Structure 1
Amino acid sequence: MIEGYSEEEFGITVHAHVRPAKPISSIKLLKGRHKELGEIRRALFAKGRHMSPMSI
């Protein structure tokens, strides 16, 4: 556990910031996918190309 937090306090704090079952609430939270988004963008505008689940 993290020093200064009880297990319950830690759980409450994490739950306030991490919500894997809920949709993203702010565009600011979309980080770290620049390369993948670029590949998707290129494939969308290139004739005869497609994106497979393995490539993103």
Structure 2
Amino acid sequence: MISKPISQSQASRLWAIAHAQGLKPCEVRSVFSEFGIVSTALITTEQYDHIIHRIQEYAAVEF
């Protein structure tokens, strides 16, 4: 079964969550790279929740 790409609304929500967590765009892209993603247009519905969870984990780590 081939997973579909996320919707524009889901992409916007992802960025809103990352922003609310205090992450910079470069940090979000770092999370994307862990999944082999270079653009939200390439995120599948199957990956979406995993990426949101990873963004929240990433934000929780203090550097």
Asked if Structure 1 and Structure 2 have the same fold, meaning a TM-score greater than 0.5 normalized by the shorter chain, the answer is no
Instruction: Report the TM-score, using the length of structure 2 for normalisation.
Output: 0.27
Structure showing greater relative contact order (alpha-carbon pairs closer than 8 Å, 6 or more residues apart): 2
* Bigger CA radius of gyration: 1
Query: When the two structures are superposed, what TM-score results if normalisation uses the length of structure 1?
Result: 0.30
